[in-house]
Each structure stands twice: as C-alpha cells, then as structure tokens.
A and B are shown apart, each in its own frame.
Chain A
Amino acid sequence: MLEVPKFIRFKFRKVGNLQFISHLDLQKAMAKVLVRAKAPLWYSKGFNPHAKLIFALPLSVGAQSECEYLDVRVERAIPPLELMEHINAELTEELRFLDAYYPETALEDIYWAEYDFSIKTMGADEKLAREVEKLLTAEQVIILKKAKDKYKKIFFKEIDIAPYIRDVSVDFEDGAIKINAKLSASINQTHPHINPENIVTMLKDKLGILSGDVTQEQYDIMRTRIYFEDGVTDFR
C-alpha cells in the first residue's frame, strides 16, 4: 500500500485589502476555506477535533506577500494542484493560491525572506534614497525590537541586525523610496526573524520620514520571495 503523504504545501498570495487581516484571523478563515474546498483534512482525534494547518511566516498586519507558505495535513492522497483549484474557487484575487505540491523540505529550512518597500514621504529624493541605503548597509544596523520580560511585560530592546540583512538596494522612483532587501526569516527562532515593519520604524526614527499628512504619505511592504540558508536558492 502506498503511504499517504502527510502534508500538502501551498504557496499563496495575501495582498491588497487582505494585508489588514491579522494572522490569527487568517488562520481561522483559511480553515473554513479548506472545508469549503472539500479538502481531505486530517483531524486530530478526541473531544475537540481540529485540522492541522501550519503557516510558515506570520505576516504582520499592514504587510503584503506574494509568497506565503502553508502546510496542510491531509488524510488521503489527492493531486495537490487539483485541490488548489477548488481552493481558489473559494477565494478572491487578493488571497490566491499559487502553487501546491508534496513538500520535500521542512518549513524550518526557510532562512531568508525578500521584501520590497515603497515609501512615499515628503521630500523623498535621490539624496534621501542614499541616506536610507547608508543606514541599511552600515556596519551596525540598530533597530528596536519588541520583547517580553519574564513577567510578560513588553519592552524594547536594541539589536544589531546587520548580520541579518543582505542584498540591499535602494532607488528613488516615481516619487518614492524603493528598497529591496533580504531579511533573516525563521519559523522557529533557530535564527532571528526580522519583521520588515522594524525597518520602517527605524527609518522613521532616524530620518524623521513619514511624519506628515497620512493622506499624502504612505508606505507599503511586499514580501516577494523566500530562500534557503544560502540566500539565493528559492525555498520550495
């Protein structure tokens, strides 16, 4: 008898309006989507059975992504792409599945995530772009990271993320500062996970940008690719 593969891995997009849906809400919504698509979900036994969905890298509210990963445990084999079609029939363009397969790697193998930042701010110009580049490629890149002490109280600690940021390029284009960079990403804290929002916060603090009229100024974050440890091979 053929062994049933345990998980199907999906790659999906979460953009536009969907960037404002929190990770927790997305998890709940996704469970319902899979039921609607009649996915052969595996359920835990016991009093309160639940399906098993593992999301790779939680995205913070206000960030978009073209490369989210989700592993879903199934109870019988099914052609992944066929299931993906059913799933997409239950979704809108802003949340769409792009790929599906039986994985040969672990989500833990994820090491880097690439982001596009677009910052529309007053006085954006080539000079500002260079300042941004200087900050992001300096020997030390200090950001404030939210942490909790042992009493669960939130505090901010300074960390140097220079080792966790690579391949930075900064341009000034269409009146906006465009940053492309790879940030260390991890699903289980074996190495640091850098939230792209931290980068924007640092730039805000250091350069005083994005402090004007919110109807004029805005920034967007888009996760575009995920890599293995070498930072060049696409994760799959």
Chain B
Amino acid sequence: MNIKNSSILKSVEKPGRYSAGEFGQTIKDKKDIKVRWAFCFPDTYEIGMSNLGVRILYGALNQEGDVWCERAYAPWTDMQKKMRQHNIPLCAHESGDPLKEFDIVGITLQYEMCYTTTLKMLELAGIPLFARDRGDDFPIVIGGGPCAYNAEPVADFFDCFSIGEGEENLVEFTRLYIEMKENGTYTKRDFLHRAAAEIGGIYVPSLYDVTYNDDGTIKAYTPVYDDVPKRVLKRIMTDMDKAYFPDKVVMPYIETVHDRIMLEVYRGCIRGCRFCQAGMVYRPVREKTPGVLNEQAKCLFEATGYDEISLSSLSISDYSRLSELTDNLLEWTDENMISLSLPSLRVDSFTKELMDKISTVRTGSLTFAPEAGSQRLRDVINKNVCESDLLRAVNVGFDAGKTSCKLYFMMGLPTETYEDLDGIAELAKAVIEAYYENPNRQKGRAPSVTVSVSCFIPKPFTPFQWEAQDSMETFVEKQKYLESKITDRKIRYVHHDARVSHVEAILARGDRRLAPALALACERGFCFDAWDEFFHYDEWIKVFEDCGIDYNFYSNRVWGEDEVLPWDVIDCGVTKEFLKRERKNAYSEKTTPSCREKCSGCGVNKLGGERTWCPKKEN
C-alpha cells in the first residue's frame, strides 16, 4: 500500500514495503479507465512480490487498455496499528487510493493459513467481511489461487472465485462487468449470476444452497438458477507457448523472498504423489518448448537485470527437454554472470551432468524429499523412488565434495506404522554410511544429515482426501519416538509444529460452517497465522469451541467415499473415480506409473492441452 504520509513511514519497520514507486509498476490515467482492480496478496510485500501467479495476472489485466490493476499487500502489524490509530484505510500500492473505492478486489489464496490475514485486509480496507453485507457500492471481491479449489471455509466472505488458471477468465469477468455497467444492467446479483452462467471457471457461492444431513455431513449443493453449472470446471491455458507471458516486471527496491528470474517451464506434474494437491489440481502437464523458454528468459533478463534464473515448475527434472533448455540457456547466461537454479530435484534425476550445469546445485546444499522412510510406505504414497536412487544421488554430491544433505519426510501418512518411522532414521544413517564408504569424499570432514519431518495433511482433490489426520497426541508420540531413534550426533532432526498442521487440516477440508469461526478469529485480532510468532493454537481451538464447531469432524475423521464433499461443487478435471482407484492402489501398496510412462485415466484430458502426455479427448 502506498501511504503518502512520511511521518508514518518514518515510524514503521521497513517503510520500503509501503512506499511503492517501483520501476515497472503500471500507472494509468484514471480518465481512460473503466474498471479499477486491486490485486491483493494476503501476506507481506516481500512474499507477495515473489509470487509468479500475481505477476502474470497483474500483467494480463493491465494489457486491457481500459482496466487498471494495482496491487495491495498486508501491512505488517506495526503499520496496522498506525492505520487504526489515524483512521487510514488500506490503500492500493500504486495510486494510494483506498481499496474500498475499487470496482474489483481480487485476493489470491495461496495457503490456508492466510485466511485470517485475508479477512484482516478486508477489515482494514473498511469492506464488510461478509459478502451478503456488501451492497452494490462495494467492490466485487473475487478469490483465486490453489485454496480456491476448496474455498468453502471462506466462501461467505467472497462474491465469487476464479477456479483454475485465471489469465483468461479474469479478463472475461472484467469485460462482462464493463459491459453491464455501460448498458445500465449492472446489479451485483445479476452480474454474478451472468458471470457464473456465462464464464467458465467462475464459482459464485451464493448461487448454491447447501443442505446438511443429521450427522453433520453434507446432503447437497443445489444451484439456485438452472443456468448455473452444477459443478464449476476449472480453466486452463491449453497452449503454454502461446499463453500470456509478462515481459515487464515490477522491480522491488527492497529485498524480497525471490529476487531472481522465475522461468515457468511447464504446468502440471506427471507424478501423482497421492498426498499432493498441486500434483492433481494443476494437471495436465503442459510444457513450453525450449526455444520459447530461451527467448522468455532473455526477455526477463533484459527487463530485470537479475543474476539468477530459477527454472520453476513442480518437479523440474521431469521436463522432457531439460538438457536442451539448459544448453540453450548456458550459451548466454555464463557470459552475463547469470547462474541457473532449480528449486526441486528428484533423486532419480540428480546426475553429475546436471550438477555441472546448475551452479546452485553445485554450490547449494543437497536436498531430497523421500517423504517416507520405508519402501512400503513410499509405494503407498506413490513416491516412485527407492533407497538405492537416494544413495546414488547423495554419492554424486559427495563425489563433488559436499558433506551435508537435507532430507524431507512426512509423518502421519495413511497406513504408517512405527516401522516406517524407523525407516526414516535408518535412511539417514545409510546416508552417513554412504559418505564414509565414498572414496572420493572430502577427507577429514564429518558428514551431516538434516532430517526434516512435516505432518501429513489430507487435502481436497487427492487420493488421500478421505483420510483422517493423526491426532495431536499421536503426532507428539511419533515425534518423540523418532527423536529417540535418532541417536547419531551427525543427524539433526527437526519437525514441523503439529498444531499448525492440525488447524491447516481443519481449514483445508472445511465447509461453509467454518465462516463464523474465521470471522470471530478476525474480530479477535488474528492475522499472519502463517508466521510462527503469530500462530496461537490454543486461541484457535477456543475460537472453534466458542462457535460450537466440532473441529475434529474435519481433520481427524475418515470421510465416507460416498459422502458429498464440500469441494464436489468444483471440478478440477480429475475424476472422483480416479481418486478412489488411487486410494485403493495405496492400500494395496501398488504404485502408479507417471503420465509419461502410461496414462492412468485420471480424466483431466477432457480439458485438452498442447505438449501434454494425455491421450486426446474423445468427443
């Protein structure tokens, strides 16, 4: 947000978060503008500025001559205090105009723990939290991002959601808004109705009646108009080579989380890990071609001057033309002092060749995610890697002089036993042993292995969406157990806070009945729950209790496969039958091949897509 009052800026931490004026920001003349958009990121400026999705949508909307899209971020708590003290409402970053005066306020929901910050931003903007309390004079509030796949806990606060990739449907949405304003037919209700009926991937919660069974499960979602889809199908960009690409970048003046070029190589994932929501909802894989990527990378370099290009995608080593792409890039990046980085690597793709090409792999630490300790459990979750892959990969690193390695695991996965936990400790030990057996290791240096264990959260649209999360007691017990198994001082054990994962699990599968709890949380001052220092478990539990919500109903219950799910109103392309099949495979410890090896018929091919592995859709 942009505050012109210099005294206030002089009195807060990191005023550069609010002062704006970045090179590359979009400023337009208000008299040419028919719609003003405020694109909000419910976290700090430093985090929001690093989000690739926001960057793309900001550019896509501003391509429209009569639309001005600005940004807004959550002010830090010190600034919030000043704003309340002096009655300053939340304002847009570029113009400094209050959000309340905008036509459309878009909020991206990247993680469940940002819900409280989302509400705080509405409150600071002076926009009533509940959509039903907002008349035609208030902005339309539209949500999007990964959490929109089950946005039911926050559905009452939004007028609508954009489901899937928003490059096209947000523009269509905006054009419809302009059309109805211009021909005088605009009312909020009629606009939302037409948007839901005419534009693909627009979900308007208020156009569905929800009924419940006596046992608390959902009975039905019923559209209130005949022309509103029973299930809202997500939107995708079918041809990524032709998809809108932002060649202009807003350059932050202060340090942000990712000060580097983020080159989106492809969307989707071929793997199908059974706990992973991104792996399901971003299907199908759609690759860009190396030629296009190389040009885009050059363009981003000229626009930013960054000295690092990060090849970003869910599992970058699965890109079918990675070698060609890196060769193309290396032709000009080296002489321009640019290094290449890869955010994630699978153990089966970690090779000497890759290590030589990718400087951050060369200089950074070795990081792998086996996710589970035993082969059995890795088969259950469909993480198709085995111990020998891991040991081969760490040896490539040790050969090159590395001495430390970080391993990521998940605890509380379906069917997990204490033997599987033993497997985590044993795997870490095996890595230490591999180090000492490696003749090329750095002599005289001791190895170190960090074992980082997070807690399993059952997520919508995954084969594990029906599973129960472990109880808090079980998590704590398991964490203690694992700690006792790790005795080697060369192994460092860290684990996630199970209490955060518990609340996340409640929100992830929540329904509309959680809205009063979130409103109460906002009233009680919750904000920045994604930040450890602001997360207070006991207060969350108290909020749920005060609202009479049986929170474990959402997190710790095995859901029935024939139950109506809160997110059944959304169609992410992957069928429920496929998810059920995958769940069965999990229980029989059967792995499923990647999409590149063999199509498993998840159903998403009905959406089409270029440079994908999917069979062409049948008409």
Enumerate chain A interface residues (CB-CB to B < 8 A).
Answer: 16-22, 25-26, 28-29, 31-36, 43, 49, 61-62, 90-92, 94, 213-215, 217-220
Contact = CB atoms under 8 A, between A and B. Distances in A.
A62 B9 contact: yes
A49 to B, nearest CB: 6
Contacts, number: 78
Interface in B75-103: 82, 86
Nearest to A22: B16
B80 to A, nearest CB: 15
A35 B253 contact: no
Interface-centre pick from A20, A34, A61 (highest chain B CB count, 10 A): A20
3 smallest CB-CB distances across A and B, nearest first, come from A17-B21, A32-B305, A35-B305
A36 B305 CA distance: 5
Given A20-B15, A214-B86, A31 B254 contact: no
Interface-centre pick from B21, B259, B303 (highest chain A CB count, 10 A): B21
B305 A215 contact: no
Contacts of A17: 2, 19-21
Given A17-B21, A62-B9, A94-B21, A25 B253 contact: yes
Nearest to B21: A17
Contact of A18 (B10, B11, B253): B253
Nearest to A24: B255
B481 interface: no
Interface of B: 2, 5-11, 15-16, 18-23, 82, 86, 251, 253-255, 259, 302-307, 336-337
Contacts of B86: 213-215
A185 B5 CA distance: 28
B21 A18 contact: yes
A91 B19 contact: no
18 contacts: A17-B20, A17-B21, A18-B21, A25-B16, A25-B253, A28-B259, A29-B251, A32-B251, A34-B305, A61-B15, A62-B10, A62-B15, A90-B23, A92-B23, A215-B8, A218-B6, A219-B7, A220-B6
A22 B253 CA distance: 9
A121 to B, nearest CB: 11
Contacts of A215: 5, 7-8, 86
A217 B7 contact: yes
Given A18-B19, A214-B8, A215-B86, A25 B305 contact: no
Given A22-B16, A214-B86, A36 B303 contact: yes
Interface-centre pick from B7, B22, B255, B304 (highest chain A CB count, 10 A): B7
Contact of B255 (A16, A28, A94): A28
Nearest to B25: A92
B254 A49 contact: no
A25 B46 CA distance: 13
A217 B10 CA distance: 12
Given A17-B21, A20-B19, A36-B304, 19 more contacts: A18-B21, A19-B19, A21-B16, A21-B253, A21-B254, A31-B305, A32-B304, A32-B305, A35-B305, A36-B303, A36-B305, A90-B23, A90-B305, A92-B21, A94-B21, A214-B11, A215-B7, A218-B5, A219-B7
